Chain A
């Protein structure tokens, strides 16, 4: 047996992609249906990025929040092993509790215990409303969490009722908040954001000055130019759209 046959894969870091999904009552109907559909469709794409990437493997974690906050699985899973259970909508918008829950898991005793180390996670927050609980406490905990500080953070505001200020506070910049106005745009942006943040987040960082967060925002911006009914939150001119959620 030659030494060459004994080769093993290079050690890879882990990049965890978090979906934080608002499942409050207002999401009921085709919004939540679109989220379920988009995530199911994006998982195989994430699996492919992970499989061919010598820098890191990608794991997925998902947290839904309404009256409370709960994880879909008790640990991050490889995209290929993540069987998406459709989430259903109903109840309030406990974003504060979701932030506290995320804060607990963003630790080595929580979800970030990969043996050969991790890249900073990517976190995608989806919401169509404003928090109904004390979100300030939750967010302030997160803002002191080093994993959160280093993370790629993107928020998707679904429709005009989403509280952009809160989403902006979560991501740390209004540039990283993207608004969608129809079902198709919602599905597309979930794909674009999940794929882009996974691609950039799971690779050794670029030698240039642009941070991973900057790169994700730039790339998502460029791609949504072609999505009808999606906009970067900086150009807040949603008056030209009439929300269409039937």
Chain B
């Protein structure tokens, strides 16, 4: 029997059985069931059209090597084959995570740009860890990522198509997300993954596809051969400064038209780079994950909460006057923490990310006694040490506060030290 019924049992390669409770969903490749495994609720992906032995062996190997990081919902147990059919068991996805496709369909929205940037960081981290383990994606698309809209935390699913680099699983990704050389028939590798990463990040930030502009809209029937052109051999970035043939279309690509102007130039310039003809055609020149993370960190440093309207805004601190992208009022950048070459602007309700763990470490708040004064709350798990201009040493415990006063030097950790300018 190809499909499983509630109560059916599947045998695992490690011994023992899992019992099907109910169907959770189905896709092109198979059905996902809720199962009971020794009293624990897990998910079973059951292939309706199982691929050959190589695929099964690859799953077995991936299970042995374990998940590259906690961002992955990784295959944990494999079933024995029953008349050629099999599946694998993984953890259940928590209910507060939604498929990236839901964000593209505007059924789910990020609660904040802060959450959006956290998601971008986490996706980069996932790719980095995957490559560090020697794997690459084969079938990367919007169905792989599940995101918590309020925190931006990401779970990467469908990891059955992860293969050692240079090998081919037989499951090919969607042209829309694949690098031109893969669309043209090449084997996916970490370089093509990096292209896919740029596409995913672009769509995460701008909620439109980087190659879907006027040229693509003009195509009445997107046949497979046209797809191979528009996403492969003849792909043109919608904001390619040297080729304006594929600009976004008003009324169609609304999201990117609204958002492109407000994101920091460093991010936009980088997308222009990554989607330039040169990088489309030279896979090895594409940006690596760590560089993306550094860039996103810079973008995050420029994100503050506007004191006038209370919404988040990106600030271009190189311009003469920083204006809020929502209300247009000037945002003062007089108060900030200097950490090396970074300047973290201090406004009430702005979160500060000091280190690289993608978790906010500090929160700026108004002093309840005197709202013109600002305080910094330590929302990290670590104690900070501060030195006042007169040389006094203060400790700021987790959840504790410190005033924003010029000249105070803060040691957030052994390696990261900052100074307040106010």
Question: Hey, which bits of chain A sit against chain B, CB under 8 A?
Answer: 1-11, 13, 52-55, 108, 112, 115-120, 146-147, 150, 196, 199-200, 203-212, 218-219, 222-223, 225-226
- Give 1 or 0 for each of B167-198: 1 = CB within 8 Å of chain A CB: 00000111111100011010000000000000
Residue pair A54, B105 in contact (C-beta under 8 Å): yes
Closest A-chain residue to B174, C-beta based?
Answer: A204
Q: Shortest Cβ distance from A237 into chain B, in angstroms?
A: 22
Chain A residues near B185 (CB, 8 Å)?
207-209
Closest B-chain residue to A115, C-beta based?
Answer: B252
Q: Shortest Cβ distance from A191 into chain B, in angstroms?
A: 12
Given contacts A54-B105, A146-B221, contact A3 B173 (CB under 8 A): no
Residue pair B223, A150 in contact (C-beta under 8 Å): yes
Q: Is B224 an interface residue (CB 8 A)?
A: yes
From 207 to 241 in chain B, residues with beta carbon under 8 angstroms from any chain A beta carbon are 207-209, 212, 216-217, 219-224, 227-228, 231
CA distance A212 to B325 in the complex (A): 44
Residue pair A11, B110 in contact (C-beta under 8 Å): no
Closest B-chain residue to A146, C-beta based?
Answer: B221
Q: Which of A7, A206, A210 contacts B174 (CB 8 A)?
A: A206
Residue pair B174, A3 in contact (C-beta under 8 Å): no
Q: Which of B49, B209, B217, B220 contacts A108 (CB 8 A)?
A: B220
Q: Is B253 an interface residue (CB 8 A)?
A: yes
Closest B-chain residue to A5, C-beta based?
Answer: B109
Chain A residues near B259 (CB, 8 Å)?
3
Residue pair B326, A119 in contact (C-beta under 8 Å): no
Given contacts A6-B258, A112-B221, contact A54 B142 (CB under 8 A): yes
CA distance A200 to B227 in the complex (A): 14
The count of A-to-B residue pairs whose CB atoms sit within 8 angstroms is: 127
Given contacts A207-B183, A219-B28, contact A112 B109 (CB under 8 A): no
CA distance A120 to B219 in the complex (A): 11
Given contacts A3-B262, A219-B28, contact A205 B254 (CB under 8 A): no
Closest A-chain residue to B29, C-beta based?
Answer: A219
Residue pair B258, A223 in contact (C-beta under 8 Å): no
Q: Which of A4, A147, A210, A212 contacts B221 (CB 8 A)?
A: A147
Q: Shortest Cβ distance from B82 into chain A, in angstroms?
A: 13
Closest B-chain residue to A223, C-beta based?
Answer: B48
* Size category of the binding interface on chain B: 35 or more
Chain A residues near B4 (CB, 8 Å)?
none
Given contacts A2-B311, A112-B220, A226-B1, contact A54 B101 (CB under 8 A): yes
A-B contacts, 17 of them at CB < 8 A, read A4-B109, A4-B116, A7-B109, A8-B106, A10-B105, A10-B208, A11-B217, A13-B222, A54-B101, A54-B142, A119-B222, A199-B28, A206-B174, A206-B175, A207-B173, A223-B2, A226-B2
Beyond the given pairs A7-B109, A55-B174, A207-B185, 9 more chain A to chain B contacts, judged by CB atoms under 8 angstroms and listed by A's residue number, are A2-B311, A3-B258, A11-B208, A115-B252, A117-B221, A205-B228, A206-B175, A207-B173, A208-B185
CA distance A2 to B42 in the complex (A): 38
From 118 to 158 in chain B, residues with beta carbon under 8 angstroms from any chain A beta carbon are 141-142
Given contacts A4-B110, A222-B48, contact A118 B255 (CB under 8 A): no
Chain B residues near A150 (CB, 8 Å)?
221, 223-224
Q: Is B397 an interface residue (CB 8 A)?
A: no
Residue pair A119, B221 in contact (C-beta under 8 Å): yes
Chain A residues near B101 (CB, 8 Å)?
52-54
CA distance A55 to B111 in the complex (A): 24
The 10 closest A-B pairs by CB, nearest first: A208-B172, A204-B176, A204-B174, A54-B104, A150-B223, A222-B49, A207-B178, A54-B101, A9-B106, A206-B172
Question: Hey, which bits of chain B sit against chain A, CB under 8 A?
Answer: 1-2, 27-28, 48-49, 99, 101-102, 104-106, 109-113, 116, 141-142, 172-178, 182-183, 185, 203, 207-209, 212, 216-217, 219-224, 227-228, 231, 252-255, 258-259, 262, 311-312, 325-326
Given contacts A205-B175, A219-B49, A223-B49, contact A7 B221 (CB under 8 A): no
CA distance A219 to B175 in the complex (A): 19
Q: Which of B176, B178, B217, B312 contacts A55 (CB 8 A)?
A: B176
Q: Which of B183, B219, B258 contacts A117 (CB 8 A)?
A: B219
Residue pair B222, A117 in contact (C-beta under 8 Å): yes
Chain A residues near B176 (CB, 8 Å)?
55, 204
Given contacts A52-B101, A207-B172, A207-B182, contact A120 B254 (CB under 8 A): no
Residue pair A11, B175 in contact (C-beta under 8 Å): no
CA distance A222 to B259 in the complex (A): 45
Closest A-chain residue to B252, C-beta based?
Answer: A11
Residue pair B227, A204 in contact (C-beta under 8 Å): yes
Closest A-chain residue to B207, C-beta based?
Answer: A7
From B27, B209, B220, B227, residue with most partner A Cβ within 10 Å: B220
Chain A residues near B111 (CB, 8 Å)?
4
